[in-house]
């Protein structure tokens, strides 16, 4: 399956954690739309929501907690993340945050999967 | 009538069984992380005996035992501290002592239970009998690597500030000794079984830092400060764990961070004696109690595999795939068997450590940590 082109995301470049971009900046909306279009084109035969949910709770959960309330890594519940743009979260998932314990997941998952996870995190019901 | 007789006979048998004293020396508990329960298991029978429910969020849970091997103190991620009676198979007390906890320890005399917390960062200490709080030690940092040390002491380390503190409860009120400059982002620690050496692993830089707790004023001792030099750092999808199973004869064996290898360190001089390349990022590198073998499991996505290393040759002598998501291993006290939790297979698997044959599979719901009661008598466990 063809992967989308590599994107530059604020939080993924440079040496330290940058301020996270607010939601609805124009370029990110465009980018998100582009990703959504691309995702829906491939979604049916590539994404496995149950496997991704399992990954989020079990494997992201090793640092962020099974219920995503945080641990060594920060709280990932939707009420905590709501100020972040889905696209920025996608970038953090794919490329990690240098000088922190957040690793890049790009070697293990596709950009579409990272995008799915970012949206899943933002859309979770408040617990 | 027939039913009544059978029912009566069954209840008589049950009564007789319950009247028997319960020996706990070969029992253990398995954390069922998703369900918030613990499974009581019998090592000799290789069987599950009972499930005890209602312990809250048990992701990354661990536990310690009272000196009489009757009570388990279970430390949940949600800050819950639950006291379980494994004789009556019931929860006897439970407090939610913080918002986000990471583990605990019991004092050498069995009277104090300490819990280390991420939120609010610090250590809280409880009366082992009543679970009433006897001390609150805020550290302003996520607090990791909490162990008991001889002399009614607890030792713990701060992820954010890189300090290790020793809390001495010998005279009642805690006396705190602070040791700065342990290194950047310590992620876990262990204490050797003799209670002398405390070793913390570093995430933020290469190496480990040791303390000699027999020294009047323990000073940080850098261990392998540049073990990763010249090698490409690999992503770490799960932090390794350090537990008091690191000693093999005269060497410690410890997981590297960001490198797919285990490190061998001379226990006296704390200098490197070798490395063994492994299948993935090691999570646990656990010496069999006799020290002859080291069993290693790995971080996601290579967490279906175990490698066994011979501690004399430092070579891998066996590799196998128990199943998806191998989270923990626990040896029987003399090391003839190892129990392995395979989370996504919903099984605990029992293996012979001499011939590596699988002896039994026991059903368990998303099992993680396995804890045999023999831990009650070991410092640091």
pTM of the model: 0.86
ipTM of this model?
A: 0.84
CA B104 to chain centre: 9
Strand duo B133-138 + B143-149: pairing: unpaired
Cβ-proximal residues to B285 (8 Å cutoff; 6+ apart), any chain: B240, B246, B253, B254, B255, B262, B294, B295, B296
Find the residue in A nearest to B142 (Cα): A72
Compute the distance between CA of residue B97 and CA of residue B345 in angstroms, rounded to an integer.
Answer: 32
pLDDT of residue A31: 44
| Residue A100 forms part of a structural domain | yes
pLDDT of residue A16: 39
pLDDT of residue A66: 87
Which domain CATH number covers A94?
1.10.760.10
Q: How far is A50 from chain B (nearest CA, A)?
A: 13
pLDDT of residue A73: 92
Per-residue confidence band for B1, with pLDDT thresholds at 50, 70 and 90: very low
Mutate to test the interface with A, among B235, B345, B367 (most CBs of A within 10 A): B235
| Residue A32 forms part of a structural domain | no
Phi, psi of A114 (to 5 degrees): -65, -40
Domain span at A100: 48-127
- What integer best gives the mean pLDDT of chain B? 93
| Residue A125 forms part of a structural domain | yes
| Residue A28 forms part of a structural domain | no
Three-state SS at A108? coil
Element (H, E) at B209: strand B208-212
pLDDT over 70, % of chain B: 95
| Residue A80 forms part of a structural domain | yes
pLDDT of residue B211: 98
Count of the separate structural domains present in chain A: 1
- Is some CB atom of chain B closer than 8 A to the CB atom of A63? yes
Find the residue in B nearest to A54 (Cα): B344
- Is some CB atom of chain B closer than 8 A to the CB atom of A103? yes
- Is some CB atom of chain B closer than 8 A to the CB atom of A13? no
Query: What are the pLDDT digits (tens) for B84-105?
Result: 999 999 999 999 998 888 899 9
Query: What are the pLDDT digits (tens) for B134-166?
Result: 999 999 999 999 999 999 999 999 999 999 999
Per-residue confidence band for B18, with pLDDT thresholds at 50, 70 and 90: low
Taken as a whole, chain A contains a residue count of 127
**pLDDT above 80 (res B121):** yes
Per-residue confidence band for B228, with pLDDT thresholds at 50, 70 and 90: confident
- Is some CB atom of chain B closer than 8 A to the CB atom of A107? yes
Find the residue in A nearest to B343 (Cα): A58
Query: In which residue ranges of chain A is pLDDT below 70?
Result: 1-45, 126-127
| Residue A12 forms part of a structural domain | no
Q: State yes or no: cis peptide before B339, omega within 30 of 0.
A: no
| Residue A73 forms part of a structural domain | yes
From the list A58, A59, A66, which residue is nearest B57 (CB)? A66
| Residue A43 forms part of a structural domain | no
A-chain residues near B119 (CB < 8 A):
70
Do A68 and A57 form a contact (C-beta atoms < 8 A)? yes
CB contact under 8 A, B203 and A101: yes
Higher pLDDT pick, B65 / B230: B65
- Is some CB atom of chain B closer than 8 A to the CB atom of A101? yes
Higher pLDDT pick, B13 / B108: B108
pLDDT of residue A45: 56
Higher pLDDT pick, B226 / A27: B226
Strand duo B358-363 + B347-352: pairing: antiparallel
pLDDT over 90, % of chain B: 87
Arithmetic mean of pLDDT, B368-379: 97
Which domains are seen in chain B, by residue range? 97-236 (2.130.10.10)
Compute the distance between CA of residue A103 and CA of residue A100 in angstroms, rounded to an integer.
Answer: 8
CB contact under 8 A, B102 and A104: no
Higher pLDDT pick, B42 / A8: B42
Pairs from A50-58 (Cβ < 8 Å, separation ≥ 24): A52/A113, A52/A116, A52/A117, A52/A120, A53/A120, A55/A109, A55/A117, A56/A117, A56/A120, A56/A121, A58/B325, A58/B343, A58/B344
**pLDDT above 80 (res B178):** yes
From the list B34, B142, B343, which residue is nearest A72 (CB)? B142
pLDDT of residue A126: 52
B-chain residues near A63 (CB < 8 A):
238-239
pLDDT of residue A44: 47
pLDDT of residue B226: 87
Residues in B whose CB is inside 8 Å of some CB of A read: 33-34, 57, 59-60, 77-78, 99-100, 102, 118-119, 142, 144, 159, 185, 187, 203-204, 235-239, 300-301, 325, 343-344
A-chain residues near B102 (CB < 8 A):
71-72
B-chain residues near A65 (CB < 8 A):
57, 59-60, 77, 100
Find the residue in B nearest to A65 (Cα): B59
**pLDDT above 70 (res B176):** yes
């Amino acid at each position: 399956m063809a992967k989308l082109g590599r994107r530059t995301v604020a939080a993924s470049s440079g040496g330290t954690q940058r301020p996270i971009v607010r939601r609805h900046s124009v370029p990110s909306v465009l980018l998100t739309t582009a990703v959504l279009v691309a995702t829906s084109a491939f979604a049916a035969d590539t994404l496995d929501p149950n496997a991704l949910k399992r990954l989020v709770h079990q494997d992201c959960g090793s640092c962020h907690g099974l219920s995503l309330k945080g641990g060594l890594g920060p709280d990932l519940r939707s009420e905590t993340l709501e100020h972040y743009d889905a696209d920025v979260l996608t970038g953090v998932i794919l490329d990690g945050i240098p000088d922190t314990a957040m690793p890049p997941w790009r070697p293990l998952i596709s950009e579409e999967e990272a995008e799915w996870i970012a949206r899943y995190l933002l859309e979770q019901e408040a617990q | 009538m027939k039913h009544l007789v059978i029912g009566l006979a069954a209840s008589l048998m049950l009564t007789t069984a319950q009247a028997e004293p319960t020996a706990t020396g070969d029992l253990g508990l398995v954390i069922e992380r998703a369900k918030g329960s613990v499974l009581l298991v019998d090592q000799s029978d290789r069987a599950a005996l009972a499930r005890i429910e209602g312990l809250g969020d048990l992701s990354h849970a661990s536990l310690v035992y009272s000196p009489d091997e009757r009570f388990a103190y279970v430390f949940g991620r949600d800050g819950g501290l639950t006291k379980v009676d494994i004789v009556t198979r019931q929860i006897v007390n439970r407090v939610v002592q913080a918002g986000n906890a990471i583990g605990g320890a019991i004092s050498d005399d069995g009277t104090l239970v300490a819990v280390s917390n991420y939120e609010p960062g610090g250590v809280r200490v409880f009366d082992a009998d009543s679970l009433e709080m006897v001390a609150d030690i805020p550290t302003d940092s996520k607090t990791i690597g909490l162990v008991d040390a001889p002399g009614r002491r607890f030792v713990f380390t701060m992820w954010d500030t890189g300090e290790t503190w020793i809390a001495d409860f010998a005279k009642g009120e805690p006396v705190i000794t602070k040791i700065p400059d342990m290194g950047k982002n310590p992620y876990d620690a262990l204490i050797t079984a003799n209670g002398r050496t405390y070793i913390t692993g570093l995430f933020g830089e290469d190496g480990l830092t040791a303390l000699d707790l027999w020294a009047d004023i323990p000073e940080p001792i850098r261990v392998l400060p540049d073990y990763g030099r010249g090698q490409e750092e690999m992503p770490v999808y799960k932090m390794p764990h350090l537990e008091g199973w690191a000693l093999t004869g005269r060497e410690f064996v410890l997981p590297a961070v960001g490198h797919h290898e285990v490190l061998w360190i001379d226990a006296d001089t704390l200098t490197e004696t070798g490395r063994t390349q492994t299948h993935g990022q090691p999570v646990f590198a656990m010496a069999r109690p006799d020290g002859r073998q080291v069993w290693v499991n790995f971080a996601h996505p290579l967490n279906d595999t175990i490698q066994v290393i011979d501690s004399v040759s430092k070579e891998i002598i066996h590799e196998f795939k128990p199943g998806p998501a191998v989270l923990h291993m626990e040896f029987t006290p003399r090391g003839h068997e190892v129990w392995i939790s395979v989370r996504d297979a919903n099984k605990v698997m029992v293996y012979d450590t001499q011939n590596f044959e699988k002896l039994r599979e026991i059903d368990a719901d998303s099992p993680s940590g396995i804890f045999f009661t023999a831990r009650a008598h070991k410092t640091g466990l």
